[in-house]
Amino acid sequence: MATTSESTASGSPASESTASGGPATGTTAAGPSDSPHAGPADTPAAVPVRAGLPGRYLLWLGGTQAGLLGDAALYFALGWAASAHGGGAAGLVLTAITLPRTALVLLGGAVADRFGARRVMLAGDAVMLAGTLALAAAASGPGIPLRLLVAAAAVIGTVDAFYLPASGSMPRRLVGAHQLPRALALRQAGGQVAALLGAPLGGALVAVGGLAGAALADAVSFGLVLLVLLRVRPPAERGPARSAADSPGLLREAAAGVRLALADPLLRAALLLTGAAAGALLPVVSLLVPLLARTHGWGAGAVGLVGGGEGAGVLVVAGLVSWRGTLRRAGAGAAAGLCTASAGIAVLAWAPGVAPAVAAGVVAGAGSGLFACHLGPLVLGGAPEGHLSRVQALLTLVQSAALVLSTGLLGVLADTAGARWPTALCALATGAAGLAAFSSAALRRA
């Protein structure tokens, strides 16, 4: 399943330092390893950080990346099929994914914490396997009705609401605390590769077999993930799931997860920073770069180059962190990442040509990756063992809400003042968030 939290601090999606910025080889973020909530997957501190990641995690990650690639191809195919019905129809299909995902994600986190993340993922993959096979059969005839696309999007969004919190908690369940930053960085790198390859793969599948071909390919990826999950069993889930009779209602459990995160100084600061980053960083490439390109008359190719540069920056930083480990102070690393991204966005706003814009995209992507690779371990490592999925659900909700709000406001500002000023505003907001992170005692000590 696709993840939104990888885009910033997790994912979805979706990315460690002293303030001076030099990588501290062999060190990790302090948050997860020092957390009083360390789970059963934790290992003694004497284990070297550069030790290989567990085989069960690498197996799960390989299956997950195959699923992400299949999802990205299907999302492209859905968008292409919806565009044949007009812009309003395409927006309706996207809304049909986003709305149930946002409305149900906190409930999905509570379900995963109560019944087990692996069980929820198995159920989600089984539903999507059946759903994509049904979509492939329904889309094989002449013409694709809009109601079919909306129904498929609604199923995807609903399953995502339960799947994303469960999937986001799996690294903590499969690796020790000392390895968590490298594990999350490797996941981020794989997700970025899937994002870069998804659209070309989706285009090729649509060209050969239409929406039905893309849906069938995604069904194969869900089958592969199911096989992997049958082999991988987190140690914490070897016992029976908690009985519903022994637990409060799911809505109360979801609310308890929110209260816990808001009461914890580190989690509260990390969630606020994640919302600020999602609102200021994510709309730049998806919304503002195309508008800037139209303003300068650069063409669609330039948009692709800037987006590719941003993705390459994320990928390089995530790859380095997964290989070398994080910096000594994860909170300072996250703050430095936002400040770096701010500089890249500022250059992008006033770039005189395509080459400087691509270079600015690389800098912004590197900062985004640095931020995500440091903040992700703090959020996941700082959550209590019994609240892992609920904290991930709240992370997804914060990102989605901030993105929806900022995208609308930035679009209106671009219509009235041009594309440069909202881009400059994103640079200012990202830099302010980075400085706020440096001044936060909870993040500064992490």
Percent of residues in the chain assigned helix, strand, coil, to nearest 5:
80, 0, 20
Asked if 415 contacts 294 with a C-beta cutoff of 8 angstroms, the reply is no
Report the range of poorest mean pLDDT among 12-16, 120-124, 361-365: 12-16
pLDDT of residue 17 exceeding 60: no
Lookup: tokens for 398: 């914060």
pLDDT of residue 46 exceeding 90: no
pLDDT at 138: 93
The predicted-structure confidence for 173-231, as pLDDT tens digits, reads as follows 999 888 888 899 999 888 888 888 887 888 889 888 999 999 999 999 999 999 999 99
pLDDT at 60: 94
Q: What is the mean pLDDT of the chain?
A: 82
pLDDT at 239: 44
Question: How open is the CA angle 161-162-167, to the nearest 5 degrees?
Answer: 105
Provide CB contacts within 8 A for 48, sequence distance 6+: 26
Asked if 171 contacts 113 with a C-beta cutoff of 8 angstroms, the reply is no
Which of 71, 396, 97, 115 is closest to 225 using CA atoms? 71
- The alpha-carbon radius of gyration of the chain (Å, integer) is 21
In the structure, what pLDDT confidence band is assigned to residue 2 with cuts at 50, 70 and 90?
very low
Cα separation of 56 and 74, whole Å?
27
Report the range of poorest mean pLDDT among 109-123, 143-157, 321-335: 321-335
Please count the other Cβ atoms lying within 10 Å of the Cβ belonging to residue 296: 16
The predicted-structure confidence for 222-281, as pLDDT tens digits, reads as follows 999 999 999 998 875 544 445 545 566 888 888 888 888 788 888 888 899 999 999 999
